Amino acid sequence: MIKLTIGIVLAAILTGFLSGCSTTDIRLSGGVGEHQNIFDTSQMKAEVRTGDRLYSYSRVEWNDNPSDDVNDLALTGIGWSYDVFHLESAVNDEYYLINLRYEQERSWGYTYGTLKHMDKFEGGNSGTTATLGGGYEAFNGVYIGPFYEVGNQEQKFVGDTYGLELRIVN
């Protein structure tokens, strides 16, 4: 799993820089939260978007959660953008993900909101998550900011995560 994860992220980054496309967007985030307001959880995530209107999308998640329904994941797929709206889809051999994202550049940085749905191809383990976040431009093309995420899994439990995100854009 780790080799696949590293391979997907490095391939997406390398493809972006070597292809000469105008945009490579790398986001690294880490957060903590609660599962059912009882158990502490944590999540680390890496997302890479390479391209402009039609772009490649890769996502890797490392989850520390007491539920067997929340797993470490590596997915890759494609995204499409129109103005400030984005539609992304990614898969691996077990899961598919659909992500709707709104993102607005500001004079000081950016803000965003997402609605993500993920499910297993064979059914079961369905989950939907809403995220709000933003970032302040610390350096040219380097942003840092908070995010908050809340979601449900199989309509069985609710969890939330809050943390920091580092975004690098070329």
For residues 106 and 28, give the distance between their C-alpha atoms in angstroms, rounded to a whole number: 20
pLDDT (0 to 100) of residue 62: 87
Number of independent structural domains in the chain: 1
pLDDT (0 to 100) of residue 114: 97
Residue 8 belongs to domain spanning: 2-169
Give the up-direction half-sphere exposure of residue 47: CA atoms within 13 A in the CB hemisphere: 18
Q: What is the CATH number of the domain that holds 98?
A: 2.40.128
pLDDT (0 to 100) of residue 36: 66
pLDDT (0 to 100) of residue 14: 58
Give residue-wise pLDDT tens across range 36-83: 667 788 889 999 999 989 999 999 988 776 666 566 888 999 999 999
pLDDT (0 to 100) of residue 135: 97
Give residue-wise pLDDT tens across range 156-169: 677 788 999 999 99
108-115 LR contacts (CB < 8 Å, sep 24+): 108/136, 108/137, 109/134, 109/135, 109/136, 109/137, 109/143, 109/145, 110/134, 110/135, 110/143, 110/167
Contacts of residue 7, Cβ cutoff 8 Å, sequence gap at least 6: none
pLDDT (0 to 100) of residue 70: 60
For residue 147, name the pLDDT band (cuts at 50, 70, 90): very high
